[in-house]
Amino acid sequence: MSDPKIEGYEFKPGFKGMAQDTGSDQTMFKGVHWGKAMMWIFLLSDTFIFSCFLISYMKGRGSTLIDWPNPSEVFGLHVFGVDVPLLLIAIMTFVLITSSGTMALAVKYGYEKNKKMCGWLILATAIGGLTFVGMQAFEWSKLIHEGVRPWENPFGAPQFGSFFFMITGFHGTHVSIGVIFLFIYAYKTFKGHYDEGKRGWFTSIKGDYVEIEILGLYWHFVDLVWVFIFAFFYLW
Amino acid sequence: MSEDYNDNKTIQAQSSETISGSGSGVSPDIDYVRPAEIPEQDLYHGHSFITKWVFCQDAKVIGVQYFLLATFTGIIGLILSWLMRLQLGFPELASFMTAEHYYQFVTMHGMIMVVYFLTALFLGGFGNFLIPLMVGARDMVFPYLNMVSFWMFFIAVGVLLASFFVPGGPTGSGWTLYPPQAILEGTPGSGMGIMLMCISLILFVAGFTMGGLNYLITVLQARTRGMTLMRMPLTVWGIFTATVLAMLAFPALLVGALMMSLDNILGTSFFMPTILKAGEVLEYGGGSPILFQHLFWFFGHPEVYIVALPAFGIISDLISVHARKNIFGYRMMVWAIVGIGALSFFVWAHHMYVSGMNPWFGFFFATTTLIIAVPTAMKVYNWILTLWRGNIRLNTVMLWCLGFIVTFVNGGITGIFLGNVTVDVPLSDTYFVIAHFHMVMGIAPLMVIMGAVYHWFPLVAGRFLDEKLGKWHFWLTFLGAYSIYFPMHYLGFIGVPRRYFEMYDSPYMTSAVGMNEFISMAAFIVGAAQFILIYNIIRALKIGKPSGHNPWKACSLEWLTPSVPPEHGNWGERLPVVHRWAYDYSVPGAKEDFITQTTPPSDVANTEVEKT
Amino acid sequence: MHAGIIFFLVILGSVLFHIFTPWYWTDVASNWGGMDDTITLTFWVGGGVFVAVCLFMVYCVFKFSYKEDRKAEYKPEDKKLERILTWTTTLGVAALLAPGLIIWNQFISVPKNAIEIDVMAWQWGWQYRLPGEDGKLGTTQVTNINDNNPFGINLDDPYGKDDVMVQTDVINLENNRPVKILLRSVDVLHNWYVPQFRAKMDAVPGIVTYYWFEPNKTGEYEVLCAEYCGVGHYAMRGGVVVQDNQDYENWLQEQETFSDLMAKQKLLETGETKLAKK
Amino acid sequence: MSEIKKQEQTTTHKIGIYLWIWGLLFVLSFFSYMVDWYQFQGLLRWSLILLFMFLKAGLIMAFFMHLFWERYALVNVLLWPMTAIGCFIFLMVAEFEYTVFTRLFYFVVGG
């Protein structure tokens, strides 16, 4: 994204530009919408939440003397007579990445004011998210059926269940909130709220396609967190 | 960038006003400030009583709401501290109090004062009121979110206070809420009490996040023309940096509170190892209590600076205004605030030297902790160097500032005792710690709050607070508080551990009895003295002397609003344009002893003002 | 003006209080006199800074209080002065830090000849275990604890058999012999703290923490719990008796070992079964 | 203002770049799944997991979240706080090793 044009302000690249932007008046992030800056800072804060979860998980898993269950087996599926390790998780990962891709395209079409494409892509993203949540529900019920509880499990260290339900639950909550907002935004896109600058339902801020990018940031972040959970919880 | 808030007329009006005050034959372009790059903010103006005063979106009203609610909880905390002091000083008079009660009061006093009083007051109260005014914004950038933030805080306080009325009472696990005892029988409020505490904290964090995003984006993205970061008053710097810390530190508290709730309700074992209680092995195992302590202090240490940094910032402004002198070494002050803030994330385990963590951490954390002493000391030097060759008005506000310097230096020095790992070993968990942190993050910030109230009350209400009452208030508070906490250090030297309901009669502790009685007396007086302020405020609202515009002759923007007190939208028709930093006091050659931030350079061309 | 005088009196009062205070630390009774020295050092440096800063402030209040015709100095920055102050402070802080780190290094490295003592804490009391002839403590598990095995010693651990059990809250120590305190808790956090020995450490359930000291004054001392552990926290006391070599050996002889206890238990059980048979 | 608007409209990225990144993410996810499928163990497993994880995270942040095109002022504000997390992770590794050491030594192995 090349820099926006600002009257009376000349952009410099790289770290020089950083020093110049920081030292300038009015805004530090040049050309960045208030809402977008807010979402970034919020995501930074949220990153710290997930980091604390994952650090706690590391500390918990590292200091227990009971063997940690092998996630590859616990999360394996038995399909067509063969045991496939991590099958469901792999599918979930692919679904989430797919939805992340559609979201990225939705943002692009949003900025091009392509209402139809943008709306359909957001809807596709929402459906992807919904599928993910559904599969997570399936995974939870499967594990609960096998006797995994937050306080115990038949495979090994009790902390396994605790951390599993807590971390995936917290991530799942993020996905669910995202899905709700995706549906709302899809509705608003199709209705043309962003074209005509219709004010929001509560905040009375005028609508704009930048809101799609803001929602996109959130959605990509959810995907980003899943990358880490996938690596640390399922593969490690 | 978008046209959300676009109001083309205003933008045009602003852009055309690139040259202002081009009179007096000076070359006009020294007054040039580049045009506005942010469109005018469109605000929701309340009409009814509810939208104007209850669910209000005006940051100033929200600030006052925060202030009042925080003060209310603070008074509850104060009453709890009276009860504690009654037990410690005159146990025979406190026969109604059991050990359970005592520990509940200790816990609630600590949590209320640190989180629900000081944090909410500095960031929610002063932050909301001052940030938009000081950076020249019409309001916070997301007024609706700001309103929700306050009401979340309101609910959080409600939940917290509700815990007084549930079976078992509020939690009595100390404000640090250490598991395993926090959720085990044998600690008061280990069922509902700790649950409500965790819920309340989670709500507080959620609410604060909404407010904090507002403060940050307002400072970063909504400054007025000419307002660079290095021209902001230090108050804004302090609150801004504290908010950054809060945004990054509260997550750890949130995670800790959530995990402990799960341990409590679901019986998970995040923090719970195998435990034998009353001859029975509980259904826990494998968890690590130290993990909670790490999470808690990863939040807890930045939290100390969340309280301290706004105080640093505000005090710098107050001293500068009332000493009629620029703050000495402004850039050093800014970098010190930022540096202290950044370092505060690398020092947390100095609260845990004797917690049984990996002993090698002692080296790391002692070093990082003492490094923080350097920028902090620089700030102290700069405050007193600002007084040096100033023209000090010895009014109530200045008295609070001087009181702050004495208490803060005292508390800061004892901080070096506790940060230095070996020195900490005999002193930690004793009254020395209590005395230290009350001095440095109880009394010192309180001095700042009081100074700030006397300083900014004219802006909020358009009237002065009474000076005579103010002086009584100050001397009672300062001398009283100092005589509470200064001798208390020596209890710590004797080795009296903290959180003792009764001292019993260990030979070396009997001498503490007399001191405890004295401290309790002082505490009652200091607490009562605070009601002078409440009386003073009520009195001033009715019959206070009207203050008019800029009564202190300050340079910073908040005093330059067209109407006092400022209206919704702050600036009337046109946003101010800033040409200098907020500290041009006593510039040689200037007509008056202050040059406001909005004075264009051409007006003061004949003075020796420095370029900022 | 009055303000300046009162502030001056406050500073003066603080200094006088420190000089004449009847409240000060008890005589150190262990090798950690070094901790007292670091405290004293910090006191001199820190106290000096405190007095200097505050007196300077008082001076400014006297010298520069408001006069209509005076104009304050206008000097935003003084690079040189700031640099000097920064470096002096850094040096001072480093001078305080260095001895602290050196003594901490001693604190965490236990001498080889230290006798290990297992201090077991619960709500709200203490008991102690000493290694027997083999000089080693047996491993433990919280789940093993019962009336016959008050310390939860693992029965299959050969080192545990001869462990000496002191099932009271008073422990005897030998004068001038380093002890390594191994802290263990079965329920919540505790802290075994004797003010005269200066050192302290939390007992954390689920792990074993340690610290060491060398008592060097015979006598009786009181043990306090220094980490909040529930409503009984303030009443959780114990005792230490530091004795000379001979007295200590005598005391040690009288104590019961784990195998004694097991034997007694077995005797009791067989007696009971015999009784039941009759 | 209107000028800024026009500027932004013309600077949306070509669809190709998104599709490319999308494809790369699939490939990387597939690779990291393969790490488990072939049951690599030990150092190889961990370094591969971390490698693929950071590559994926980097791609998402840089291109999907547009961080690659943002100005350094924003990028640095977002990335520097991670040092605190890094420090936290590093110290917690030392901490759990110490915990597990005391547990093994005093509760299991002894001597």
In this structure, what token pair is assigned to residue A141? 């019920």
At B16 the pLDDT is 37
Residue B449, min C-alpha distance to chain A (Å): 28
Same domain, D93 and D57: no
Least confident of A78-87, B215-224, C122-131: A78-87
Neighbouring chains of A at 3+ CB pairs within 8 Å? Answer: B, D
Contacts of D37 in chain A (CB under 8 A): 85
In the predicted structure, residue D14 carries a pLDDT above the cut 60: yes
Distance of CA D63 to the CA centre of its chain: 14
Among the listed residues B218, B172, B192, the one whose alpha carbon sits nearest the alpha carbon of residue B80: B172
Least confident of B50-64, B250-264, B285-299, C256-270: C256-270
Same domain, D65 and D91: no
The residues in B 182-241 lying below 8 A from A, measured between CB atoms, are 209, 212-213, 216-217, 220-231
Contacts of B171 in chain C (CB under 8 A): none
Q: How far apart are CA B172 and CA B166, in angstroms?
A: 13
At B375 the pLDDT is 94
At B486 the pLDDT is 94
Task: Name the residue of chain A whose CA is nearest to D103's CA.
Answer: A65
Beta strand C115-122 with C179-185 is parallel
Least confident of B9-18, B235-244, B568-577, C44-53: B9-18
Q: How far apart are CA B597 and CA B599, in angstroms?
A: 6
Task: Please name the member of B224, B228, B267 whose beta carbon is closest to the beta carbon of A23.
Answer: B228
At B4 the pLDDT is 36
In the predicted structure, residue B80 carries a pLDDT above the cut 90: yes
B393-438 pLDDT, tens digit per residue, is 999 999 999 999 999 999 999 999 999 999 999 999 999 999 999 9
C-alpha separations of C15 from B346, B475, C11, D1 in Å:
34, 20, 6, 65
Instruction: Say if residues B393 and B324 touch (Cβ distance below 8 Å).
Output: yes
Least confident of A6-20, A132-146, B370-384, D88-102: A6-20
Query: For chain D, how many structural domains are there in total?
Result: 2
Neighbouring chains of C at 3+ CB pairs within 8 Å? Answer: B, D
Q: Estimate the crossing angle of helix B467-494 against helix C2-20, to 10 degrees.
A: 10
Cross-chain residue pair A235–D36, CB shorter than 8 Å: yes
In the predicted structure, residue A108 carries a pLDDT above the cut 50: yes
Task: Please name the member of A25, A59, A203 whose beta carbon is closest to the beta carbon of B288.
Answer: A59
Q: What is the mean pLDDT of residues B288-310?
A: 94
Least confident of B54-58, B308-312, B502-506, C117-121: B502-506
Exposed (0-12), middle (13-18) or buried (19+): which is A173, by Cβ within 10 Å?
Answer: exposed
Place of tokens 């590559």: D55
At B17 the pLDDT is 43
C-alpha separations of D10 from A7, A31, B4, B53, D7 in Å:
18, 15, 19, 45, 6
Place of tokens 């027997």: C132
Is residue D111 assigned to a domain?
Answer: yes
Cross-chain residue pair A60–B3, CB shorter than 8 Å: no
Task: Name the residue of chain D whose CA is nearest to B360's CA.
Answer: D94
CATH topology classification for A33-235? Four Helix Bundle (Hemerythrin (Met), subunit A) (1.20.120)
In the predicted structure, residue B1 carries a pLDDT above the cut 50: no
The residue of B7, B219, B298 whose CB has the most chain D CBs within 10 angstroms, and thus the best one to mutate to test that interface, is B298
Exposed (0-12), middle (13-18) or buried (19+): which is D90, by Cβ within 10 Å?
Answer: exposed
Same domain, D10 and D47: yes
The helix or strand, by DSSP H or E, that contains position A78, with its residue range, turns out to be: strand A77-79
Q: How far apart are CA B301 and CA C174, in angstroms?
A: 41
Q: How far apart are CA D88 and CA D95, in angstroms?
A: 10
Task: Please name the member of C3, C24, C50 whose beta carbon is closest to the beta carbon of B399.
Answer: C3
At A3 the pLDDT is 65
Confidence band of B24 (pLDDT split at 50, 70, 90) = very low
At B28 the pLDDT is 57
Domain residues for the domain of D20 are: 2-70
Confidence band of D1 (pLDDT split at 50, 70, 90) = very low
Among the listed residues A38, A210, A204, the one whose alpha carbon sits nearest the alpha carbon of residue A118: A210
Contacts of A217 in chain D (CB under 8 A): 65
Least confident of A47-51, B74-78, C149-153, C178-182: C149-153
Size of interface C-D (CB pairs under 8 A): 29
At D111 the pLDDT is 61
Residue A25's SS3 state is: strand
D36-77 pLDDT, tens digit per residue, is 888 888 889 899 999 999 999 999 999 999 888 888 999 999
The residues in B 482-521 lying below 8 A from C, measured between CB atoms, are 482, 486-487, 490-491, 493-495, 497-504, 506, 508, 511-512, 515
Instruction: Say if residues C138 and C163 touch (Cβ distance below 8 Å).
Output: yes
**DSSP codes joined into one string, D5-48:** HHHHHHTPPPHHHHHHHHHHHHHHHHHHHHHHHTT--HHHHHHH
Instruction: Say if residues B348 and B403 touch (Cβ distance below 8 Å).
Output: no
Confidence band of C278 (pLDDT split at 50, 70, 90) = low
Instruction: Say if residues B325 and B585 touch (Cβ distance below 8 Å).
Output: yes
In the predicted structure, residue A29 carries a pLDDT above the cut 70: yes
Cross-chain residue pair C141–D111, CB shorter than 8 Å: no
Task: Name the residue of chain B whose CA is nearest to D93's CA.
Answer: B358
**DSSP codes joined into one string, A174-219:** HHHHHHHHHHHHHHHHHHTHHHHTPBPSSS-PBP-THHHHHHHHHH
Residue D101, min C-alpha distance to chain C (Å): 9
Q: Say what the pTM is.
A: 0.94
Q: How far apart are CA A188 and CA D67, in angstroms?
A: 26
Place of tokens 């002890």: C179
Confidence band of B609 (pLDDT split at 50, 70, 90) = confident
The residues in B 25-84 lying below 8 A from A, measured between CB atoms, are 33-38, 42, 44
B171-186 pLDDT, tens digit per residue, is 999 999 998 999 998 8
Is residue D96 assigned to a domain?
Answer: yes
Residue D111, min C-alpha distance to chain A (Å): 18
Confidence band of D11 (pLDDT split at 50, 70, 90) = low
Cross-chain residue pair D1–B11, CB shorter than 8 Å: yes
In the predicted structure, residue D104 carries a pLDDT above the cut 50: yes
Q: Which residues pair with A199 in a beta bridge?
A: A206
- The full 3-state SS of B424-443, as one line of letters, equals HHHHCCEHHHHHHHHHHHHH
Q: Which residues pair with B277 in a beta bridge?
A: B280
At A2 the pLDDT is 55
Size of interface B-C (CB pairs under 8 A): 327
In the predicted structure, residue B13 carries a pLDDT above the cut 50: no
All structural domains of chain B: 58-274+282-604 (1.20.210.10)
Same domain, D51 and D89: no
In this structure, what token pair is assigned to residue B592? 């008056």
At B10 the pLDDT is 43
Is residue D76 assigned to a domain?
Answer: no
Give the list of residues 6+ apart from residue B52 with CB closer than 8 angstroms, or none: B46, B61
Same domain, D54 and D15: yes
Is residue D75 assigned to a domain?
Answer: no
The residues in D 1-30 lying below 8 A from A, measured between CB atoms, are 3-4, 7-9, 11-13, 15, 18-19, 21-22, 25-26, 29
B324-376 pLDDT, tens digit per residue, is 999 999 999 999 999 999 999 999 999 999 999 999 999 999 999 999 999 99
All structural domains of chain C: 2-65+77-108 (no CATH), 115-271 (2.60.40.420)
Give the list of residues 6+ apart from residue C72 with CB closer than 8 angstroms, or none: B323, B324, B325, B389, B390, B391, B585, B586, B593, C64
In this structure, what token pair is assigned to residue C55? 């007196």
Residues in chain C, how many?
278
In the predicted structure, residue D7 carries a pLDDT above the cut 80: no
Strand ranges for chain C from DSSP E: 115-122, 125-130, 164-166, 170-174, 179-185, 190-193, 202-203, 209-213, 219-225, 237-243, 256-257
Q: Which residues pair with C166 in a beta bridge?
A: C128
Contacts of B100 in chain C (CB under 8 A): 231
Q: What backbone torsions phi and psi does residue C238 show, to the nearest 5 degrees? A: -150, -170
- The full 3-state SS of B15-52, as one line of letters, equals HHCCCCCCCCCCCHHHHCCCCCCCCCCCCCCCCCHHHH
Instruction: Say if residues C195 and C238 touch (Cβ distance below 8 Å).
Output: no
Cross-chain residue pair A25–B142, CB shorter than 8 Å: no
Give the list of residues 6+ apart from residue B77 with CB closer than 8 angstroms, or none: B108, B109, B112, B113, B116, B117
Neighbouring chains of D at 3+ CB pairs within 8 Å? Answer: A, B, C
Same domain, D64 and D88: no
Q: What is the mean pLDDT of residues B579-599?
A: 90
* CATH 1.20.120.80-classified regions of chain A: 33-235
Identity at B156, one-letter amino acid code? A
**Mean pLDDT taken over chain A:** 90
Q: What is the mean pLDDT of residues C121-129?
A: 91
Same domain, D98 and D59: no
Q: How far apart are CA A67 and CA A61, in angstroms?
A: 9
Distance of CA B165 to the CA centre of its chain: 29
Q: How far apart are CA A124 and CA A109, in angstroms?
A: 14
C44-97 pLDDT, tens digit per residue, is 999 999 999 999 999 999 999 888 888 888 888 889 999 999 999 999 999 999
Among the listed residues B529, B434, B526, B532, the one whose alpha carbon sits nearest the alpha carbon of residue B480: B526
The helix or strand, by DSSP H or E, that contains position D84, with its residue range, turns out to be: helix D82-103
